[in-house]
Amino acid sequence: MIYAVINNQTNIVENTVVLNEGAVWSPPEGYYIVDITGTEVGNDWVYDPNTQQWTPPVGYVAPTNSEIPGTTPNVIE
């Protein structure tokens, strides 16, 4: 599972952590975590805990399918 480590005051993602299933870990004081497994969220994204919506950082450009590993078929000739 992948978690965003989010600053309590700014709601900005400052880090991400990968935890094995069943692992127990708590973020440092002043932070909380949100499961981002399967989403495209990373550092500098903003989380709204009331709506559970993410806002990308300024200047963010989403990758195209050809830039995402596993989304285009491999051609073997």
Domain assignment present for residue 72? The answer is: no
Beta strands in 8-51 (DSSP E): 13-18, 31-35, 46-48
- What's the domain range around 39? 2-67
Please report the pLDDT score of residue 27 as a whole number: 96
Q: How far is CA 23 from CA 1, 17, 26, 29, 56, in A?
A: 10, 12, 10, 19, 28
Domain assignment present for residue 76? The answer is: no
Please report the pLDDT score of residue 72 as a whole number: 52
Please report the pLDDT score of residue 61 as a whole number: 82
Q: In angstroms, rounded to a whole number, what is the distance separating the alpha carbons of residues 2 and 34?
A: 8
Please report the pLDDT score of residue 73 as a whole number: 56
Please report the pLDDT score of residue 66 as a whole number: 62
Domain assignment present for residue 46? The answer is: yes
Work out how many domains the chain is built from and give that number.
1
Contact 40, 54 (CB under 8 A): no
Domain assignment present for residue 77? The answer is: no
Domain assignment present for residue 39? The answer is: yes
Q: For 16-68, what is each residue's pLDDT tens digit?
A: 999 998 998 999 999 999 999 999 899 999 999 999 999 999 888 876 666 55
Domain assignment present for residue 24? The answer is: yes
